[in-house]
């Protein structure tokens, strides 16, 4: 990256899959598969091109993701470029309720960072021990502070994979440069299930429309890529 903005915060790419009616999960205990294999492979490539991947603690508890690059060829290409096989894995918590047995902390050996509200730092460090670097992110947690800290650690490109609370905050704060939205060909139709984002005041509204830079069919899903800032390298 170049330019004065580059050092201030990483380029932020949001990635999400929804149903036709905008849900990102259902209300059952099972994990809902919205993407298909080809799209998951695309996401893997996007992951491989980033320096860090962030999800909220809600997603860690609900989905138990590993947040690793799956493809061995992509891992090897990263290593050949002097990078770790997978990007840094990042989560954020207000209450510190993260279990050390989550796959994020038990699988893979790439760096893990947990941004915690000031009040929960001690609890989070106690729970996670050496499994992650626990960083005080203020009270309330400040996304801009997190991004500045990540930039200071050399993160130039951050992939934010959800969930609803985290995506909503990045969008409402105007801290997103690009959005990859995948629409799966079915409805959830259950208001107990989470939607892509909840209520909020967003920088994009009927009077300020976001720019579509790509719409692509991938098997039975559709990927729509939106440019959300002038930094979007696709715009």
Ligand X SMILES: NC(=O)c1ccc[n+]([C@@H]2O[C@H](COP(=O)([O-])OP(=O)(O)OC[C@H]3O[C@@H](n4cnc5c(N)ncnc54)[C@H](OP(=O)(O)O)[C@@H]3O)[C@@H](O)[C@H]2O)c1
Which parts of this chain interact with ligand X (CB under 6 A)?
Answer: 16-17, 24-25, 34, 55-59, 62-63, 92-95, 97, 117, 140-141, 161-166, 169, 194
* Pair of tokens at residue 185: 């060909």
Strands 112-116 and 11-18: unpaired
CB of 16 to ligand X, least distance (A): 4
Nearer to ligand X, 75 or 91 (CB): 91
Residue closer to ligand X, measured from CB, 71 or 95: 95
Of 24, 67, 18, the C-alpha closest to 163 is 24
Q: Which is nearer to ligand X, 18 or 83 (CB)?
A: 18
169 touches 143 (CB < 8 A): yes
What phi and psi, each to the nearest 5 degrees, are found at residue 111? -55, 145
Paired tokens of 7: 């050092």
First to last CA, the chain: 15
DSSP string, 83-136: S-SSPEEEEEESS----TTSHHHHS--S-EEEEE-GGGHHHHHHHHGGGSEEEE
Q: How far is the CB of 221 from ligand X (least distance, A)?
A: 11
**Assigned token pair, 37:** 């294999």
The CA distance from 18 to 34, in Å, is 7
CB of 36 to ligand X, least distance (A): 13
In terms of CB distance, is 154 or 174 closer to ligand X?
A: 174
Contacts of 130 (CB under 8 A, 6+ apart): none
Q: In whole angstroms, give the CA distance from residue 210 to residue 181.
A: 13
Shortest Cβ 142–ligand X spacing (Å): 8
Q: How far is the CB of 2 from ligand X (least distance, A)?
A: 30
Nearer to ligand X, 77 or 97 (CB): 97
Comparing CB distances to ligand X, the nearer of 39 and 77 is 39
State the nearest-atom distance from the C-beta of 143 to ligand X, in Å: 6
């Amino acid at each position: 990256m170049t330019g004065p903005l580059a050092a201030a915060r990483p380029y932020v790419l949001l990635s999400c899959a929804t149903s036709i009616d905008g849900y990102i999960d259902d209300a059952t205990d099972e994990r809902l598969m919205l993407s298909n294999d080809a799209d998951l492979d695309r996401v893997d490539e996007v992951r491989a091109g980033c320096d860090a991947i962030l999800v909220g603690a809600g997603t860690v508890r609900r989905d138990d993701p590993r947040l690793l690059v799956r493809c061995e060829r992509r891992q090897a290409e990263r290593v050949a470029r002097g990078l770790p096989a997978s990007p840094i894995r990042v989560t954020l918590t207000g209450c510190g309720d993260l279990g050390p047995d989550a796959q994020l902390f038990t699988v893979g050996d790439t760096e893990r960072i947990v941004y915690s509200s000031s009040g929960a730092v001690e609890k989070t460090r106690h729970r996670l021990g050496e499994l992650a670097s626990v960083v005080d992110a203020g009270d309330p947690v400040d996304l801009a502070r997190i991004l500045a800290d990540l930039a200071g650690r050399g993160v130039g490109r951050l992939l934010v994979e959800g969930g609803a609370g985290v995506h909503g905050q990045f969008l409402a704060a105007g801290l997103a440069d690009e959005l990859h939205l995948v629409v799966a060909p079915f409805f959830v139709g259950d208001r107990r299930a989470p939607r892509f984002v909840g209520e909020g005041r967003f920088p994009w509204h009927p009077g300020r429309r976001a720019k579509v830079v790509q719409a692509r069919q991938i098997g039975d899903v559709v990927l729509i890529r939106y440019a959300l800032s002038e930094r979007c390298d696709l715009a």
